[in-house]
């Protein structure tokens, strides 16, 4: 497609999306608790602005978003950052009823971590606007909040925190009948799904016997409907390839990745295998983030292939990318 003002604008938006996402990632990695209670209290003594306005201004400045000139730019933080109430965790059934010990073995550990007041974190899956502006949903608590986590060799693998609760909520709401879950973690998805009357059974596919052992000993015993749960020790992709085509699961939830850093190729591989299982409806954790990674990885190819800007925009849509993800011509890396 010939370069014009519309394609140039789309390229600029891609650049802005990536720049802001990179700045936010660096902020979260290096200084997520840079905004503190003392800082907010000091500013409130000399400002009439609300706490929310102050937090957004500080995070925008630290991430460099306020340096942009486009009127849309403030939306990255203005629309994406909001206070999260502790009740999101405190009223969650898993958080209320499952008690994890601070214990581990063979590289896996159950533990507890905390968010400090005003510490910034990702609170949900990516928000995609109609013009392809991408908003990273960020949040903060006003008080200290502790949450359970499972660590693999010192790396957080899964935790009961806002990003997990919010990003899994639509899939938990959707599933019914016989459900397959790929990836165990703390068993959060399996627990929440098992509480639904519309869910008949939950089969968890997990390859690591150590986390299975810890889960069965310390977590599964606390499930109020543990009779619905079955654990299969198997490689997820072997199970997808060899078992799922002849199985009769109504839904499957795939959560085999830690983030988009390791997730895109695993997602693509899962999608291709899932295409051979038409009787099962597949859902994927943080799919919007993964589709974003695919969208911008394939961006130049799509613009070269499209005959018009409208066709390019259509090919960049989530639905088109989901279809493309199943195609073998999308290279795994």
Residue identified by tokens 């939830």 is 253
Give the bridge partners for 140, in sequence order: 83
Q: What is the pLDDT of residue 75?
A: 87
pLDDT in tens, 37-78: 999 999 999 999 999 999 999 999 888 876 656 656 778 999
Condensed to tens digits (0 to 9), the pLDDT of residues 94-152 reads 999 999 999 988 888 999 999 999 999 999 999 999 999 999 999 999 999 999 999 98
Q: Residue 252 — very low, low, confident or very high, per pLDDT cuts 50/70/90? A: very high
Three-class secondary structure of residue 301 per DSSP: helix
Q: Which ranges of the chain would DSSP assign to H, the alpha helix?
A: 5-30, 37-46, 51-63, 75-78, 87-90, 93-97, 162-174, 188-194, 209-218, 236-242, 260-274, 287-297, 299-305, 309-315, 318-325
CATH architecture of 162-325: 3-Layer(aba) Sandwich (3.40)
Q: What is the mean pLDDT of residues 7-17?
A: 90
Averaged pLDDT, 81-86: 98
Is residue 78 within 8 A of residue 65, CB to CB? The reply is no
Q: 217: closest CA among 108, 68, 70, 303?
A: 108
Mean pLDDT of 225-239: 98
Domain boundaries, the chain: 5-157, 162-325
Measured between its terminal Cα atoms, the distance across the chain in Å is 26
Q: Under DSSP, is residue 273 helix (H, G, I), strand (E, B) or coil?
A: helix
The β-bridge relationship of strands 138-140 and 81-83 is parallel
Residue 332 has pLDDT above 60, yes or no: no
Radius of gyration of the CA atoms of the chain, in A: 21
Cα(94)–Cα(16) distance, integer angstroms: 38
Of all residues in the chain, the percent with pLDDT exceeding 70 is 95
Q: Does residue 331 carry a pLDDT above 90? A: no
pLDDT of 330 above 60? no
Which of 207, 211, 204, 208 lies closest to 180 in space, CA to CA? Answer: 204
């Amino acid at each position: 497609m010939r370069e014009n003002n519309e394609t140039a604008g789309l390229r600029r938006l891609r650049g802005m999306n990536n720049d802001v996402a990179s700045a936010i990632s660096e902020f979260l990695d290096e200084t997520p608790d840079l905004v503190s209670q003392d800082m907010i209290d000091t500013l409130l003594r000399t400002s009439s602005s609300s706490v929310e306005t102050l937090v957004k201004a500080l995070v925008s400045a630290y991430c460099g978003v306020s340096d942009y000139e486009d009127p849309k730019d403030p939306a990255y933080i203005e629309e994406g950052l909001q206070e999260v109430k502790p009740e999101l965790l405190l009223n969650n059934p898993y958080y209320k009823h499952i008690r994890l010990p601070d214990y581990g073995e063979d590289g896996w550990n159950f533990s507890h971590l905390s968010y400090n007041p005003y510490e910034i974190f990702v609170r949900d899956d990516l928000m995609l606007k109609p013009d392809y502006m991408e908003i990273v949903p960020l949040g903060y608590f006003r008080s200290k909040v502790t949450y359970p986590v499972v660590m693999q060799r010192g790396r957080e693998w899964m935790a009961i925190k806002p990003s997990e609760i919010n990003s899994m909520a639509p899939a938990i709401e959707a599933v019914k009948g016989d459900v397959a879950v790929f990836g165990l973690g703390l068993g959060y998805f399996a627990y929440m799904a098992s509480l639904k009357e519309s869910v008949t059974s939950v089969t968890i596919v997990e390859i690591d016997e150590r986390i299975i052992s810890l889960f069965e000993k310390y977590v599964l015993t606390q499930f109020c409907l543990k009779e619905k749960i079955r654990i299969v020790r198997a490689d997820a992709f072997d199970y997808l390839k060899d078992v799922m085509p002849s199985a009769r699961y109504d839904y499957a939830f795939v959560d085999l990745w830690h983030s988009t850093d390791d997730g895109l190729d695993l997602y693509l591989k899962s999608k291709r295998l899932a295409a051979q299982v038409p009787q099962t409806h597949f859902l994927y954790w943080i799919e919007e983030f993964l589709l974003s990674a695919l969208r911008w990885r394939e961006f130049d190819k799509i613009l070269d292939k499209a005959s018009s800007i409208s066709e390019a925009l259509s090919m960049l849509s989530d639905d088109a990318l989901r279809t493309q993800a199943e195609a073998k011509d999308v290279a795994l890396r």
